[in-house]
Structure 1
């Protein structure tokens, strides 16, 4: 049995495992795209400790984008409240005075806030952050929430 060169071994492996090779290449490309988006995005994801520092040291504004009922059930103290349709519809007059401040967008779990944060950045908000894991992560860390009764 003669020895195969590395190039021949790779070629033989790729031929025998085409689906796996395609999956790895796709995964690699996805990671590169995600890394590039993260490096060029104006939006930064912050954890609970970073959010607390922004609130305490930079007078950051917490913008809760959950439903009215979810907001009333418990939110971060001094949070402002807008629903996603208001942000998407550019109905942000109630927070426009905070365009130069740090804004921390908070949702239930950190997933939908990213898109809303991007929308705010496009609308002229300069320092937009997303709370990693949202209120669920905040609550899991036993950090304080206040309730609003109507």
Structure 2
């Protein structure tokens, strides 16, 4: 044990940037793990989303731009921008507060932030589609084009 400590201290002194990078990475992992456990928004797979759409009348909310939405979206999806959700402009989906709401973005990275806001607005069941429309497309699942 003493040998290990005697090796660590010189390493830290000789490699401060690398040491800070490791500490930052460690803190980021802890932060993201805790945040994912505390959020009310759950990430679901494509299969879970399809099941919820078919059996629980889940509502799909596509967070992408209108142009991307027109190029291809999940059947019966509603298009709302994250900025509209942030500003509270959610009249289009207000009536779905008790229904499962599945948020879809480009790659599954941004849906959680909008989901947290919807939860604060009283939406009871908010989900984010893992890997977003890219994952949906990657599994050759159907898209509607306008």
State the TM-score, normalized to the length of structure 2: 0.88
- Calculate the aligned-residue CA RMSD, in Å: 1.7
CA apart distance, 1:32: 0.4
* Partner residue of 2:141 out of 133, 140, 143: 143
- More deviation in 124-133 or 108-117? 108-117
State the partner residue of 1:77: 75
Q: Describe the shift of the 1:14–1:86 C-alpha distance in structure 2 as closer, same or farther (beyond 3 A).
A: closer
* Partner residue of 1:31 out of 29, 32, 38: 29
Structure 2: give runs of 5+ residues left out of the alignment.
Answer: none
| Alignment: residue pair count | 145
State the partner residue of 2:54: 56
- More deviation in 131-140 or 81-90? 81-90
Q: Is 2:118 the counterpart of 1:120?
A: yes
Where in structure 1 do 4 or more consecutive aligned residues deviate above 4 Å? none
Structure 1: give runs of 5+ residues left out of the alignment.
Answer: none
Larger Rg: 1
